[in-house]
Amino acid sequence: MTKYKLEYIWLDGYTPVPNLRSKTKIAAYEAFPTLEQLPMWGFDGSSTQQAEGRDSDCMLKPVAVFPDGARRNGALVMCEVMMPDGVTPHPSNTRATVLDDPGAWFGFEQEYFLYQDGRPLGFPADGYPAPQGRYYCGVGHAAVGDLARQIVEEHLDLCLEGGINHEGINAEVAKGQWEFQIFGKGSKRAADEVWVARYLLMRLCEKYGIDVEFHCKPVRGDWNGSGMHCNFSTEAMRSKGGKAYFEALMAAFHEHMEEHIAVYGPDNHLRLTGLHETQSIDKFTYGIADRGSSIRIPHSFVNAGHKGYLEDRRPNSQGDPYQIASRVLRTISQVPLP
């Protein structure tokens, strides 16, 4: 029997942006534990804004497990928060709101800034670096610096070692800004992995004295904000599709524009201004290969007879991928199948 370090990870009750929390449980197994072998575990909800001190017990229900490449015999255990009965989802449990759809595919493009000493990594102590232009997918110390590259490469390795379906990384448009992409089949899989990837990035940066800034517009002015573009498709979108179905989907997304914006991350009005590759927060548009639209339509989608995936560019970097996936699927579910 081998003793494993099980890092139970969950989302707390803070609003509008939950924080990641975690604690370690030691348990013995013959081999790397399966999800079914992992027990539920309790925690003090009064310390995470999820319970009162007079009745503070909350439960952690494992929903996904990954090898932890940073620890010997380590495992990362993503959890849902449950009420003390272990059956009822806690009000803060946004994962429980996602419709179960094995045919739903999601891809999230997580942008973020690396911060040091209260400013983006690579910004001078006073003023600003050179304007945007050479940073996107840049190379060289002047464009990206050496420490940032070291961090994102190490983060990529940790995700791959953990079996997270990480699809790529790149330097982003602003100095000190980066992106990683996560794809998953099933309505909750990609969101689970985004949260674990965020956890790994934040934990990794501890040893470098670096903070991860997920706010959607940490640098005001003529600098791009950070998004978490949501690429999505369902079985019907991929196998049947058609122009009429696509137009009905867009009409539904337009109708529910405010409900989408409400869960697409706080302070989005600072980012969705109609500038910097965004549409205004109070408008809904879609266009082929148009990064200034609310929804970008890939050429491949149109060329395939309006079949495939679409990209919602409105979610921001602080958004909860569970809430985003939940809203997208609820809107799609209101449109009759083709």
Boundaries of every domain in the chain: 2-95, 105-333
Place 55 in a pLDDT band, splitting at 50, 70 and 90: confident
Place 243 in a pLDDT band, splitting at 50, 70 and 90: very high
Question: Whole-angstrom Cα distance, residue 22 to residue 6?
Answer: 10
Q: What is the pTM of this model?
A: 0.96
Q: Do the domains spanning 2-95 and 105-333 agree at the CATH topology level?
A: no
Question: Which structure tokens are listed for 157?
Answer: 């390795």
Q: Residues 31-42: pLDDT tens digits?
A: 999 999 999 999
Q: Residues 275-301: pLDDT tens digits?
A: 878 899 999 999 999 999 999 999 999
Place 318 in a pLDDT band, splitting at 50, 70 and 90: very high
Question: Which structure tokens are listed for 243?
Answer: 């122009």
According to the model, what pLDDT value does residue 37 have?
Answer: 98
Pick the CATH number of 2-95 from 1.10.3720.10, 3.10.20.70, 3.20.20.70, 3.40.50.720: 3.10.20.70
- Give the residue-averaged pLDDT of 87-114: 98
For the chain, the straight-line distance linking the first and the last C-alpha, in angstroms and rounded, comes to 53
Question: Whole-angstrom Cα distance, residue 276 to residue 125?
Answer: 25
Instruction: Provide the CATH number for the domain formed by 105-333 in this structure.
Output: 3.30.590.10
Question: Whole-angstrom Cα distance, residue 118 to residue 124?
Answer: 11
Give the DSSP H or E segment for 53.
none
User: Diameter of the chain by CA atoms?
Assistant: 60
Question: Which structure tokens are listed for 61?
Answer: 């229900």
Place 116 in a pLDDT band, splitting at 50, 70 and 90: very high
According to the model, what pLDDT value does residue 288 have?
Answer: 96
Place 98 in a pLDDT band, splitting at 50, 70 and 90: very high
Quote the crossing angle between the two packed helices 321-333 and 189-206, to the nearest 10°.
160
